[in-house]
Structure 1
C-alpha cells in the first residue's frame, strides 16, 4: 500500500509541477482518523445515552469482562481552533495494518498541501461498501450485515459509485466547493469533513474498532435466528 501510494504521489507531484491547473482527486477510506465537526461529537453522545437497556447491560458486561477492551466509549472531547471547535473521530481498524493507514495518510497530506498551494483538490470519504473483495470473506460479510446494530450502513457498490462520481463532478465544476482553493476554510482539515460519506461510522456511540467485532456476531445471528429475537438490542 505504501509503495503504491508513494509512487502515485510522486506522479501527482510531478504532473502538478508541469501543469499548474491540474486537479487532484482522492477517495478516502471511512476507517481512518479524521477531524470532525462538533455536531458529530454531540450526536455520538446522544447515541451513547440513548442506548437500549439490553444493549447497555450487555455492553457494560462485555466491557467489564474484557477489562474495557470492548465497547470503549467514543472520545467526546472538543478541541478549540480559532473560533471553531472540532472533535477527533478514530475509526481505524487495526487489522488493516500500519501500511494501509500510512498509505491513506499520505493522500491526506498531499491533498492538504496541494490545496494550500492553490491547487483544486477533490478528496471525499467513501462509505463502507459491499464489494466482492469484501463480501467473499464470511467474517467481513457478517460484519457488514450486522453493522446496522450500531446504525452504520454499508452501501451497495452501485450506490457508492454514483455518489462518489457526483461528488467529483461537483468538486470540479462548482466554484463554491471546498475543493476550490479560493473557498476559505476555518481549518485545513475541513477539506475532508465536507461531503464525507461515513455511513454513520463517525456517530457510533463506541470507539468503532471495539464494537464492530460484535457487528459480525450480530450479522451471523441475523442469518440464523428469528429477527424479532434480536430487535430488542436496537430498541
Structure 2
C-alpha cells in the first residue's frame, strides 16, 4: 500500500492557522461568541471546536450559513438571534485592515451579518495573515450588499462616485449573480485607494437600496496579524506586541 501523503500547506494557510490558534487563547469558559466568516475564521472555528471537545464551554452565533454549518460540524453550541443577545467576543477575518484597524470586509459576501454581530459585540478581534495589513484601504474591491430591486439606481449612484461597480457573479454559474444568505446582491466597487474611509462610508450609507457596505469603522478593538512569521497583536495607536503577551482580553 502506498504511504499516505499529507498535503503541504501554503505559507498563507500556515499563517491563518497561527492567527487562529492565537485567537483561541483569548476565549474563556462561559463566553458567548460571534463566529466570523472566511478562511481564517474557519480555522478559528475548527480550533475552537477542538477546545470544546476538550471541555471548553462556550456558545456562539455565526455570521454566515457556511460558518454555522462548520460550527455545528465541530460541536460548538449555537444560539439563534434574539433581542438582548450580546457577544463577549467576536473573532473574524478581514480582506484589508490598516494601522487604525479600519477594515474592508465582505469578500465572502457576509458583510451584513458580520457587521450586525460585531456591532452587538463587546470586543471584536480580527485575525489575519500578513497579506491583509495595508498602508491604505482600497486595493481590495469594496463590497456592498444591495436589494435586488434597487440595483439599477444603486449602480447609477455608484457611477457618480467613481466606484466602477461590478455585480458579483455566482461562482457556480458566472452568468448568474451571486446572492447572499439574505438573498441580496453583492456589488464590488473599485475605488482604488480610499483616502477618507469615514467620508466614503457616510456617502454609501445613504444610497437607497444599499443594505450595508464593507467599510467597518470603530468596531475592531485588536487584531492578530502574522508579521515576520509570528502572531502580533495590533491595537489602534499602539506598537505591535507579540501575541504571547496576551492570555485573554486585554
Which range, TM-score by smaller chain?
under 0.3
Q: Which has the higher contact order (CA 8 A, sep 6+)?
A: 1
Q: TM-score, length-normalised on structure 2?
A: 0.26
Q: Looking at secondary structure, tell me which structure has more strand per residue.
A: 2
Larger Rg: 1
Question: Which structure dedicates a bigger proportion of its chain to helix?
Answer: 1
TM-score by length of structure 1 reads 0.27
